[in-house]
């Protein structure tokens, strides 16, 4: 599909699930938004980021879509997008630097559409690195990191957030070294909530429903107020 065949940037946050193109720093960014059920809707939006583009990552990754489902069921509206060079997004992979700018562009759009909402960030693998690296400058109100690739990316150079923060890590991850993640968490001054999932691989094979439950349970106390209180 050519990017021009998708809907242009909407004038307001869509009130039903929608696919559209947002203006990004390297061209158009393919984006999907969805909304929580009115009965449970909260005053917040979460932006989710996907795994490494050059290894086939996209916003349709099953871990990303399960995290999106868990957060939407928790009452948050959601935005997923493809980094530059993934799917129908324009531009080329840029080792996390350009992807950080892509995230900033999507967050800026969300804040224009929903200026009074809490802004959460969530990411899986490479997407968790990008969201962690940008949580402070983008003033995230909460952060969810699934299998953060400690040891593969320069986490030591990151200004770390102090907002509520969940890390979910499989203990049988074959791509990210689990012990490296656990050891890194122990060094952090503001300790995130860590959920260790036994017998769980990087892509959460046969454990996706457990991931959904872990996210929903962990964020329950962080949720913003009901949208229609």
Residue 147 has pLDDT above 80, yes or no: yes
Domains annotated on the chain, with CATH: 3-220 (3.40.50.1820)
The CA distance from 69 to 222, in Å, is 17
The CA distance from 65 to 75, in Å, is 15
> Any residues with CB less than 8 A from the CB of 189 and at least 6 apart, and which?
160
Kindly give the residue spans of alpha helices, DSSP state H, lying in 114-141: 126-134
Average of pLDDT values for 213-229?
93
Strands, E assignment, the chain: 18-24, 27-34, 44-49, 77-81, 118-124, 142-146, 165-170, 193-197
CB 120 within 8 A of CB 44: yes
Residue 4 banded pLDDT, cuts 50, 70, 90 = very low
Q: Provide the pLDDT for residue 6.
A: 60
> Any residues with CB less than 8 A from the CB of 7 and at least 6 apart, and which?
18, 19, 20, 21
Burial class for 25, CB neighbours closer than 10 Å (0-12, 13-18, 19+) = middle
**Tens digits of residue pLDDT in 156-183:** 889 999 999 999 999 999 999 999 999 9
Choose the weakest-confidence range: 2-6, 17-21, 117-121: 2-6
Q: What is the pTM of this model?
A: 0.96
Using the Cα atoms of residue 18, residue 30, residue 82 and residue 157 in order, give the sign of their dihedral: negative
User: Which residues are bridge partners to 153 per DSSP?
Assistant: 150
What's the gap between Cα 70 and its chain centre? 12
User: Which residues are bridge partners to 185 per DSSP?
Assistant: none
Structure-token pair, residue 210: 């457990």
Structure-token pair, residue 140: 């995230």
Average of pLDDT values for 3-12?
72
On average, the pLDDT of the chain sits at: 95
Structure-token pair, residue 142: 């909460």
């Amino acid at each position: 599909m050519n990017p021009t065949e998708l809907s242009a940037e909407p004038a307001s946050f869509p009130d039903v699930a929608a696919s559209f193109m947002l203006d990004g720093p390297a061209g158009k960014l393919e984006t999907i938004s969805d909304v929580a059920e009115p009965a449970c809707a909260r005053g917040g939006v979460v932006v989710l980021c996907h795994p490494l583009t050059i290894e086939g990552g996209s916003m349709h990754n099953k871990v990303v879509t399960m995290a999106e489902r868990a957060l939407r069921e928790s009452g948050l509206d959601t935005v997923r997008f493809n980094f530059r060079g993934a799917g129908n997004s324009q531009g080329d992979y840029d080792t996390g630097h350009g992807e950080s700018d892509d995230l900033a562009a999507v967050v800026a759009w969300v804040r224009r559409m929903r200026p009074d909402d809490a802004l959460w960030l969530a990411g899986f693998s490479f997407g968790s690195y990008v969201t962690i690296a940008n949580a402070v400058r983008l003033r995230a109100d909460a952060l969810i990191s699934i299998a953060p690739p400690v040891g593969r990316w320069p986490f030591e150079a990151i200004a770390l957030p102090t907002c509520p923060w969940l890390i979910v890590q499989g203990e049988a991850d074959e791509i990210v070294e689990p012990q490296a993640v656990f050891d890194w968490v122990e060094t952090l001054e503001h300790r995130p909530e860590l959920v260790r999932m036994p017998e769980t691989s990087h892509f959460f094979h046969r454990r996706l429903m457990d991931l959904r439950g872990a996210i929903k349970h962990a964020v329950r106390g962080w949720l913003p107020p009901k949208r229609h209180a």
